[in-house]
Amino acid sequence: MRSPAPVILGLIFAVAGLIVLAFAADHFVAGAARLAVFYDVSPVVIGAVLIGFGTSAPEMVVSGIAAGQGDLDIGVGNIIGSNVANISLVLAAAAAVRTIPVASATLRREVPISVASVLVFALLVQGGITRFEGGVFAALILGFLVFVLRSSSSTDGSFAGDVGEFVGDEPVVVEKAAARALVGLAFVVVSSYFIVDGAERVANALELSGGFVGFTLVALGTSAPELVTSVQAARQGETELLVGNLLGSNVFNSLAVGGIIGLVGPGPVLDTTLAETGSVLMVVIVITSAVFMLIGGSVGRNKAFVLFFLWVVSVVVLSGGDTAEAALTVLR
């Protein structure tokens, strides 16, 4: 019987890192947003660029560090797992509380862009990610931001709502906001190192692939803040921005995070099941959720059950019989 100490230590590192990361990312975005408001930056720019990148900071930093250390599988697994979790697990949890309406503007803009982004990532990740492909992802996210900025008015209510959520009503103190942003960013980076280290320890101790650990443990952790805030929003009836935010998160995950790992740590994806089967599952789940949104313009409990079931299926399929058997053998 092998000692469970490496697994326990890895889980402690990963879970502690994820908890710190969630709080640090919020403080980083809030501090940066308050600075932007003080310097009269447009709400559209703050909402589309700053908050868009900021809310995806956990995935960006964790995946970037993993790729930079040669663990590209963890980074790719995190992207695929976060995309799947956002649009199945998180949306399903919120819809189980209250039927989630999908605005017509979201159906016209965010839904097709999100589906296209996921498709592009799924196609380019096959076999691995080159630095050129990382550049393609980076160019696409810049193009997306330009499109959003040009197609949104300075008084866009959705961005105003996002900005108001992070900034609040208190007067902005520049020194305090700057310190909050810098300290938050520092803890985002430090906690991400612990997450990657913990994930590596768990994967090695249980003889799991880094991609599967990225898809499950890391992705669930980086998606946990969205899960909590989405369920809370559903309970309070504040669902206007919920679907759009989740779809936008998938765009940033696929293109921005994909660009970072491609530019920082290009290479082959060793877990071919993740790159091939995982990508297909991601596309199927994203397209299914898009169809659900188009039918009736809302996501209710019945659709939520199907989405949750698809998430469970994806975890079971990607675990594989050999992977599960190896983990159980180590734990015995």
Angle between helices 72-84 and 174-206 (to 10 degrees): 110
Give me the helices (H) in 236-296, please: 242-251, 258-264, 272-273, 279-294
Is residue 52 a contact partner of residue 257, using CB atoms and an 8 Å limit? no
Q: What is the DSSP letter of 171?
A: P
Using the predicted structure, report yes or no on whether residue 145 has a pLDDT greater than 50: yes
* Lowest mean pLDDT across 3-7, 56-60, 182-186, 209-213: 3-7
**Higher local confidence (pLDDT), 163 or 175:** 175
The two tokens of residue 245 are: 């935010």
Mean per-residue pLDDT over the chain, rounded: 83
The two tokens of residue 331 are: 């734990």
Q: Domain 5-319: which topology?
A: A middle domain of Talin 1 (1.20.1420)
Please return the burial class of 161, using the count of CB atoms within 10 Å of its CB with bins 0-12, 13-18 and 19+. middle
Average confidence (pLDDT) over 249-257: 91
Is residue 48 a contact partner of residue 152, using CB atoms and an 8 Å limit? yes
Nearest-angstrom CA–CA distance, 299 and 277: 26
**Higher local confidence (pLDDT), 51 or 68:** 68
Q: What pTM was estimated for this model as a whole?
A: 0.84
Segments making up each domain of the chain, as ranges: 5-319
